[in-house]
Chains A and B, each alone.
Chain A
């Protein structure tokens, strides 16, 4: 019996090694580095809270970058999830060709993170690019997408919303698993479509909404490729998300200590929001079969 127990650990050996070497040690090391001044050339010098004090008192780039990141995450995630749910809802119907649409909507999720698509985004939102050609053809005025700080961030947001396919597939699978008799019962009781949606569909979807919310949030906070390629963080640092700032500090200026401090601020924000989501989920996530309601 004990042999079998050890065997289980044996199968986990690669994972445990990786966990220690590539996750746990680096995790603690970056916490340590965030309290130091370290430029890779000489040994890290302990500076206590200095990096954090600098970040929050004198670093205007950081303040700007943090604000932009929060705006980006809090617009992108709800927009993307709402859109994914909307399309999944429309697809959840006995339609001929549903598989075709499901596939078509999933394609951007396959490619969205690639450099090629970021390149494409640069072209279609350029001053005389595809989007403006379409706008002027429809009688609207061309928009200066990358020249205006507000618009530039919006193009990055759109790039992520465009990749709604994976969230949609998860929503669709959940929608298809809802027992149809619930709707029939509600209809007999005189409930409208909207009522059924609000009081049956949404509550039964809360577990996947919760799952999608957390995953999308964690990823949105780490967006790098889009702004790096499309706008380079500009104009006026309006798309300079924290991962870009961390990259520049760490791998361009080799200020590893300061970069680690920014990374830890970002990590703490993500962790706090994740914990808030988990904690609040007890109040709004409904698990079928759960008796206390």
Chain B
């Protein structure tokens, strides 16, 4: 009897060991694949940082990360640019575009999402349908008349064409994301506030906004990142160099310094991606939640 139990136990143990071994091999294979893919994907970025400290002759000769004769020349010379302005001006311009745009987006999208998620009104279905339609509408088809409109308004070569559409909740994706988020929150608290005599405006500010806060942070972060990376908007609307954001300034550097000073361009490239990277690493949880919640472009 004991004999038999032992063998059964042994068998069971062997079975369990085999399963553990299989799971370990499985995990090992996954790590190897992830490691290789990760390295191949991220190495260009790592190389970029190393290369920005290399001399010009070394950039196309050394595939390694570490520079042989490290130099900050690229940063010092690149920062000065070939224009009368430094990259400091261009960074300041980028932030002058970004800050009002992000604020306008957050405020307007909160209003609109609140309206959609908590009120009934005429044409609601059609209007919400239009949010989805804008989400799918290629910008390319409205860009030319928008340009003509902004020209007629006298807004060309100012930041207004970049600010105003966003301040009117023009980024349908954010509206959609916030509506989805709000619909998942039960309205009990708001109902209670209303019974206590709060009007819809107070309810919005004191009840809804605090609950929406994580989603609003996601909105702000994505808008920051996309605006930082935006190139076509400024390319079309901004023409004076003193108003250039960093994306245009970088393109200008390529056009004017390319032939001889690669490390300047690489160094400035590193600087232009730093804000987006820093924000991402500081707040990555909001990014990942934002994408999973709304589904996203990029």
A165, CB-defined interface residue at 8 Å: yes
B120, CB-defined interface residue at 8 Å: yes
Q: Is the interface of B mostly helix, strand, loop or mixed?
A: helix
A259 touches B269 (CB 8 A): no
**What sequence of 0s and 1s flags, for each residue 102-114 of chain A, a beta carbon within 8 Å of any chain B beta carbon?**
1111111111111
Residue in B33, B277, B296 whose Cβ sees the most chain A Cβ within 10 Å:
B296
Known A23-B142, A27-B137, A111-B229: A4·B119 in contact at CB below 8 Å: yes
B residues contacting the other copy or chain, number (CB 8 A): 90
A198, CB-defined interface residue at 8 Å: no
* B-side contacts of A219, CB under 8 Å: 297
A residues contacting the other copy or chain, number (CB 8 A): 93
Min distance, Cβ A194 to any Cβ of chain B, angstroms:
14
**What sequence of 0s and 1s flags, for each residue 69-113 of chain B, a beta carbon within 8 Å of any chain A beta carbon?**
000000000000000000000000000000000000000100110
* A-side contacts of B11, CB under 8 Å: none
* A-side contacts of B151, CB under 8 Å: 40
| CA A38 to CA B120, docked complex, whole Å | 43
Q: A interface vs B, CB < 8 Å?
A: 4-19, 21-23, 25-27, 29-30, 33, 40, 87, 90-91, 93, 95, 101-117, 119-120, 123-124, 126, 128-130, 133-134, 137, 162-163, 165-166, 169-170, 173, 208, 211-212, 214-215, 218-219, 221-222, 224-225, 228-229, 243, 246-247, 250-251, 256, 259-260, 263-264, 266-267, 270, 274
Q: B interface vs A, CB < 8 Å?
A: 26-27, 30-31, 33-34, 37-38, 41-42, 44-45, 47-48, 51, 59-61, 63, 108, 111-112, 114-116, 118-122, 124, 127, 130-131, 134, 136-149, 151, 164-165, 167-170, 175, 200, 225-226, 228-229, 231-232, 236, 247, 250-251, 254, 262, 265-266, 268-270, 272-273, 276-277, 280-281, 284, 287-288, 291-292, 295-298
A-B contact pairs, 28 of them (CB 8 A): A5-B122, A8-B115, A11-B119, A14-B167, A14-B169, A15-B127, A23-B130, A23-B137, A26-B142, A26-B146, A26-B149, A104-B41, A107-B277, A113-B231, A114-B276, A115-B272, A116-B270, A120-B44, A163-B298, A165-B298, A173-B291, A173-B292, A222-B140, A225-B231, A228-B231, A243-B140, A256-B148, A266-B138
